[in-house]
Amino acid sequence: MAALAPASRTDSRFEPALMRRKVTGTLFYGACVAAIALLLLTLIVLLVDVFVRAAPWLDLQFLTSPPSSRPARAGILPAIVGTLEIGIIVGVVTFPIGVAAAIYLVEYASDSWINRLLQTNISNLAGVPSIIYGILGLAVFVRALAMGPTILAAALTLSLLILPVVIIASVEALKAVPHAQREGAYALGASRWQMVSRSVLPAAAPGIMTGVILAMARAIGEAAPLILIGAFTFVTFLPNPISGQYTVLPIQIYGWANRPQDDFQGISAAAIVVILALMLILNALALIVRARLSRHIQW
């Protein structure tokens, strides 16, 4: 491999063993590629496995019917509606609070102990297991505030869960706005809020919206906290947001997957296909929103 003549120096005590080092390097590169290949293979096997199981069950009747104790007649309409209701409430709650918190942290907060506390706190919250939020929601929303096990309590719990995600994404988006944008607004005599609302926010909007949409996707895929908030797997009517039983897609998947019969595994897989499709739609939406909002932004 190496083709340079030996060094002209006489006393060289270097033995570079290039061949061996190159082989080691190639093996390592091979390991990297193998790791990625294994991950890709896992993902493909997962998707194929789920789709193959789901195929016999996926039809219009499945999408438009309530659950049933007989798999052939079961459907997921209440779960879809519950998931959408929760997704919307979560978006409506976390968007203003999350963006406002991010604006405070990036544009207003001085380097005081209390602001550092706010910041550390948010990154720590992002690491709290989701099921702990379920315990919080159970004690606060369901019991103390007497909302009961409803869509509203579930949505507020999930809002607290993804708020740190929305804040962190928004902070990143705001920080990515060049400093010159702020100085430009100030130089025109803008107050701080005018600077933020007219100069920084529009520039950061693509990043913020993407973050919010992806956080919503995260929320509707989350099931653990809702088990504590009393989500049921057998709801035959369309859920009302503020009263009565409800279910959502991941809980429905869990409920069916827990039953030993193959047919229930099949409709569980069919529900997985539906939630994956929903995720795909939200991700596509995030891409579209980003593209539309950033048409005028270039730096």
CB of 218 to another protein, least distance (A): 8
Question: Cβ contacts of residue 19 below 8 Å, gap of 6+?
Answer: 1, 2
**Contact call for residue 288 and another protein (CB under 8 A):** no
Residue from 35, 55, 284, 288 binding another protein (CB under 8 A):
35
DSSP helix/strand/coil, 243: strand
Q: Which is nearer to another protein, 133 or 296 (CB)?
A: 133
**Contact call for residue 90 and another protein (CB under 8 A):** no
**Contact call for residue 64 and another protein (CB under 8 A):** no
**Contact call for residue 116 and another protein (CB under 8 A):** no
Nearest to residue 149, comparing CAs of 256, 235, 232, 80?
232
CB of 145 to another protein, least distance (A): 12
Nearest to residue 253, comparing CAs of 124, 103, 83, 137?
83
Q: Which is nearer to another protein, 45 or 180 (CB)?
A: 45
**Contact call for residue 175 and another protein (CB under 8 A):** no
Distance CA 61, CA 177 (A): 48
CB of 221 to another protein, least distance (A): 3
**Contact call for residue 289 and another protein (CB under 8 A):** no
Distance CA 133, CA 210 (A): 24
**Contact call for residue 96 and another protein (CB under 8 A):** yes
CB 71, CB 257: distance < 8 Å: no
Window of 62-70, 134-142, 176-184, 205-213 that interacts with another protein by CB under 8 A: 134-142
**Contact call for residue 4 and another protein (CB under 8 A):** yes
Q: Which is nearer to another protein, 260 or 296 (CB)?
A: 260
**Contact call for residue 237 and another protein (CB under 8 A):** no
Nearest to residue 200, comparing CAs of 217, 220, 216, 180?
180
**Contact call for residue 279 and another protein (CB under 8 A):** yes
Q: Which is nearer to another protein, 35 or 296 (CB)?
A: 35
Binders of another protein among residues 195 to 214 (CB under 8 A) are 214
**Contact call for residue 242 and another protein (CB under 8 A):** no
CB 185, CB 261: distance < 8 Å: no
Please give the size of the binding site for another protein, defined by CB under 8 A: 100
Angle 93-96-102 (CA atoms, 0-180°, nearest 5)? 125
DSSP 240: B
Q: Which two tokens stand for residue 108?
A: 């207003």
End-to-end CA distance of the chain: 45
Window of 16-24, 66-74, 181-189, 200-208 that interacts with another protein by CB under 8 A: 16-24
CB 246, CB 154: distance < 8 Å: yes
